[in-house]
Amino acid sequence: MKRAFRLMVLPLALALIVAGCSKPPEMEMASAEQAVQAASGAQAAKYAPEDWQTLQDTLQAAKAEKAAQDGRFSLFRSYGKSKALFEKAAGLAATTKTKAEAEMARVREETRQMLAAVRVEVDTTAAMLAKAPVGKDTKAELELMKQDMTAIQSMVNEAQASFDRNDFDSAKNKAQTIRDKCATMKSQLEAAMAKKKGGKKK
């Protein structure tokens, strides 16, 4: 009788032990979510999009697996898989953050060089405008160009402000607009100078 009782109690005791060992991976989930937030802060969705998507998929799979186990009878819950997925997500988040930071640094340097080149272009165009001969046929045109140059110089400040905010796309777009405006103004100045020289020959 005692032996039979022991045989009945033993499986139940083992089940309770297993259930006790299979606790919800709350700490692993919190660590994974914290790591994901850090990757998000590094703009991983933008600078490491493929890794970011893999990370999101892994985190969602971990949460889905945990939710599935939460819905089971306590004696049959097993959080091993969800725990492993949360740990994997944390590792992926760290790698993704590193990749995003490296790519952001590359884009930052690329944008910095672009802005430096644009400043040289603006200075060259401004010097060309300052030396342009003023005549009856060019005076009004040159005055308009001076106003445009003031606007261009303001755009340089705006591009720098975008750069300082780490808004590199905006900084690049502004830099390209400035470059185009400078190219147009140079062409206009060359035409105006040619017109002035032609007037002198007459």
Provide the residue-wise pLDDT of the chain in tens; the chain has 202 residues.
455 545 454 455 445 444 444 799 999 999 999 999 999 999 999 999 999 999 999 999 999 999 999 999 988 999 999 999 999 999 999 999 999 999 999 999 999 999 999 999 999 999 999 988 876 767 788 889 999 999 999 999 999 999 999 999 999 999 999 999 999 999 988 887 777 665 554 4
69 and 86 Cβ atoms separated by less than 8 Å: no
Give the range of the structural domain holding residue 43, as residue numbers without chain letter: 24-104
157 belongs to a structural domain = yes
Q: Determine phi and psi for 71, rounding to 5 degrees.
A: -80, -5
Q: What is the CA radius of gyration of the chain?
A: 33
Nearest-angstrom CA–CA distance, 32 and 11: 35
Last residue in a domain, options 104, 134, 153: 104
Lookup result for tokens 């740990």: 87
Task: Tell me the two tokens of residue 85.
Answer: 């997925």
End-of-domain residue from the set 104, 122, 139: 104
Task: Give which of 47, 55, 148, 181 is closest to 103, Cα–Cα.
Answer: 47
Look at residue 10 and tell me if it is in a domain.
Answer: no
